[in-house]
Amino acid sequence: MKKQITILAILLLFAAVYSCKRDKTTEDPPAQTDNYTSTANFFAVNATPMQTYTFDAATGGVFTTAKGTVITVPANAFKTQTGGAVTGNVTIQFKDVYKKSDMVLNNLTTHCRNVGPMKSAGMFYIKAMQGANVVGMAPSKNITVAMPVNGVPIDAQMLPFVLKTDTVPPVWDFSPVDSVVIPVDTGDWLSTSYMYHFYNNSTNNLGNWNNNDNATYFSAYSKSNITLNPLDNITDFGTQLYLVFTGVNSIIYMHYLAPNFPYNYAPIGLPCTAVAVGVKDGKLYSSFTPITISSNLTVNFSLSETTTDEFKTQLLALL
């Protein structure tokens, strides 16, 4: 009898311990553990996924993304690098980005070279491939990308700009498309729902980010220098830094010029948040520093350990 009681006691103790472990697992799930090899790896994992659309070059096609962007490809629209007609299947690689948070996660900017910050109505990346080969536009052919206005008031000052990310080396500032870069792009409003961007690349080099911007939005503000001073060793973290403006769809990628991050076109009086992100020993670090821009302002910032979910939540909260 005594032996039976002892066995029963052991079983009850085991059940109690198991129950405690089970309840703890249910009530306190393990925290998310981010593990990145570098800051570049963080962006590669969290950037907008590339969409692909494959179709017969002889017929073209119309494709609508999950964000409502409409891509129209006419028949026989492409030529090879040597100028011949493209036959068979062609694949369009495409991304569309509308929110400031997504612009940061795609490591983008709304800066125009020699002008300063711009107000964006959205961006898209486009590249046409046949197998491993890039194809260009045939003469008099245009890919039309209709970008949704997303419920915001129409801004008639919006014009198309291009970011030459596939050049060597890449160019990380937007240029107006009426420049010598791509002289045949045009943009116009179709209705209260869509802004059309007529895209024609005569250089056989599809593979760029395109941005619809108002380049005059910030012209009412005096510009000044602003300097963001890292208190951490940016080599250790691979720090990337952005100015995210408050109340306007505009962000600035801050180029690092040792020992800090300067920007010479900061509009005085406007509020923004300096968003920094980096990776060290596989862990994610960030900082969010509110700023009101003033003349020749210098602001210090320091990174703190975070998670991807926490970083994205803070990023989305920036309106």
Is-cis flag, bond preceding 262, omega within 30? no
**212 and 261 both lie in a single domain:** no
- Statement: residue 95 has pLDDT above 90: yes
Q: Which residue has the tokens 């107006």?
A: 176
More confident residue, 103 or 180: 103
pLDDT for 34: 83
pLDDT for 92: 94
- Statement: residue 280 has pLDDT above 90: yes
The enclosing domain of 291 has a CATH number of 2.60.40
Strand-pairing partners, residue 279, are 284
Residue 24 falls inside a structural domain? no
**Domain boundary, last residue among 182, 217, 252:** 217
**67 and 181 both lie in a single domain:** yes
Number of separate domains in the chain: 2
pLDDT for 141: 85
pLDDT classification of 144: cutoffs 50, 70, 90: confident
Q: Which residue has the tokens 């498309």?
A: 177
Over residues 76-102, the mean pLDDT reads 93
Q: How many CB atoms lie within 10 A of CB 226?
A: 26
pLDDT for 188: 63
Segment 239-266, tens digit of pLDDT = 999 999 999 999 999 999 999 999 999 9
Q: Give the domain range for residue 290.
A: 220-316
Residue 2 falls inside a structural domain? no
**238 and 199 both lie in a single domain:** no
Residue 3 falls inside a structural domain? no
Cα(243)–Cα(220) distance, rounded to whole angstroms? 19
- What the block records as the tokens of 262 is 């300067």
Are 291 and 265 contacting, i.e. CB atoms less than 8 angstroms apart?
no
**113 and 179 both lie in a single domain:** yes
Segment 208-234, tens digit of pLDDT = 788 888 999 999 999 999 999 999 999
**192 and 290 both lie in a single domain:** no
**249 and 267 both lie in a single domain:** yes
**Domain boundary, last residue among 217, 245, 260:** 217
**173 and 301 both lie in a single domain:** no
**183 and 268 both lie in a single domain:** no
- Statement: residue 32 has pLDDT above 60: no
- Statement: residue 28 has pLDDT above 50: no
More confident residue, 49 or 140: 49
Name residues whose C-beta falls within 8 Å of residue 176's C-beta, 6 or more positions apart in sequence: 112, 159, 160, 161, 215
Report the half-sphere exposure of 58 (CA within 13 A, side-chain side): 2
Cα(5)–Cα(13) distance, rounded to whole angstroms? 12
pLDDT for 160: 81
SS3 content of the chain, % helix, strand, coil (to 5): 20, 40, 40
Are 247 and 269 contacting, i.e. CB atoms less than 8 angstroms apart?
no
Q: What SS3 state is found at 249?
A: coil
More confident residue, 241 or 79: 241
- Statement: residue 66 has pLDDT above 50: yes
**201 and 97 both lie in a single domain:** yes
